[in-house]
Amino acid sequence: MCTTCGCGDPKLVPVDVHEKILAGNDRQAQHNREHFVEQGVLALNLMGSPGAGKTALLEATSRATERRWRLGAVSGDLATDNDARRLEAAGIPSRPITTGQGCHLDADLVHHALHGFPWTELDVFFIENVGNLVCPAIYDLGQAANVVALSVTEGEDKPLKYPVMFKAADLVVLTKCDLLPHLDVKVDRILDGLRRVMPKPNAIQVSARTGQGMAEWTGWLEERKARVPKRAAGAPAAHTHEHDHDHSRDHDHSHAHDHEHDHEHRHADGTVHRHGHAHGRDH
């Protein structure tokens, strides 16, 4: 490793990066977040185990709000679009994100799902994540808050077993509380577990079947909705920020776009062209 005589030997250099491995996802998530804030849409990342009652909670939310709010959702699922169809039937415009073997949603998948979906018209946009208490917690999607659905049938020690998920939660919704009389589960023990993994513990108890706790849940939504700056009437739907992102994961380019899908592409050779189109993941 000669560095002095100029003989041309290679040298070893340590490059200090100190960067999050998920920095790329975080940048895309920040881009999504700018979209949501600019449009005055409250975006929520709804996570929880398979069968925790995420879809039922959204169906009950539609009933509880009597369609006063414009709700919408994207639903991540490994193989079916059942959840999206259930939500549509409940009056929540919805689109499936089928992940194949993917155990979580990432910011890029959510961004793609937004294209062609009328999310800018919504008051509350739910991103129903893949049922999983592990991986989804570490991927920022651009949401304003994380909501974790935990059904009382899952056992008292779930918060202590899955601390990463509950640490990431802004609100835990304890679902299926109508079943408590039939179970040996003590809600106090679940709440105690949450205090040991969540620095700001916040939980509400609901039942989608009986409507118990739904007022508290919609109250929380109302409070979060009030924090989102409302887009001024008549303001253009197009957003103004410029950004770099990768639409295909294998073809890097930077472009600016608006919601009419006018794209300005800057190619590697420096040329720029604009065109309008709708595009999917093969772009």
Partner 1 sequence: MHEYSLIQSLVTRVEQEAVARRATAIHRLVVSIGELSGVDPELFQTAYDTFRSGTLCDRTPLELRQVAARWACPSCGREIPKGEVLTCARCELPARIAAGGDEILLETIEMEVP
Q: Quick check: 6 binds partner 1 (CB under 8 A)?
A: no
Residues in region 83-142 near partner 1 by CB under 8 A: 101-104, 106, 134-135, 137-139
User: Which residues are CB-neighbours of 80 under 8 A, at least 6 positions away?
Assistant: 96, 98
Q: How far is CA 100 from the centre of its chain?
A: 18
Cα 280 to Cα 212: distance, rounded to the nearest angstrom = 41
Cα 98 to Cα 78: distance, rounded to the nearest angstrom = 5
Q: Which residue lies nearer to partner 1 by CB, 223 or 250? A: 250
Output the smallest distance, CB 13 to partner 1, in A. 6
Binds partner 1 (CB under 8 A): choice among 6, 14, 100, 234? 14
Output the smallest distance, CB 69 to partner 1, in A. 30
Q: Coil, helix or strand for 113? A: helix
- Please answer whether residues 126 and 225 qualify as being in contact, where contact means their C-beta atoms are separated by less than 8 angstroms: no
Q: Which helix (H) or strand (E) holds 25?
A: helix 23-39
Q: Are strands 262-266 and 272-276 parallel, antiparallel or unpaired?
A: antiparallel
Binding mask 168-207 for partner 1 (x = CB under 8 A): ------------------------x--xxxxxxx------
Q: Which residue lies nearer to partner 1 by CB, 5 or 15? A: 15
C-alpha closest to that of 173 among 220, 134, 141, 126: 220
Q: Quick check: 15 binds partner 1 (CB under 8 A)?
A: yes
Q: Name the one residue in this structure whose structure tokens are 């959204």.
A: 58
Q: Name the one residue in this structure whose structure tokens are 């079916």.
A: 80
Binds partner 1 (CB under 8 A): choice among 16, 66, 184, 188? 16
Binds partner 1 (CB under 8 A): choice among 23, 89, 215, 226? 23
Q: Quick check: 21 binds partner 1 (CB under 8 A)?
A: yes
Binds partner 1 (CB under 8 A): choice among 167, 243, 259, 266? 167
Token pair, residue 97, equals: 């994100």
Binds partner 1 (CB under 8 A): choice among 24, 40, 51, 91? 24
Token pair, residue 169, equals: 């939660």
Q: Quick check: 241 binds partner 1 (CB under 8 A)?
A: no
Contacts with partner 1, residue ranges (CB under 8 A): 8, 10-25, 101-104, 106, 134-135, 137-139, 163-164, 167, 192, 195-201
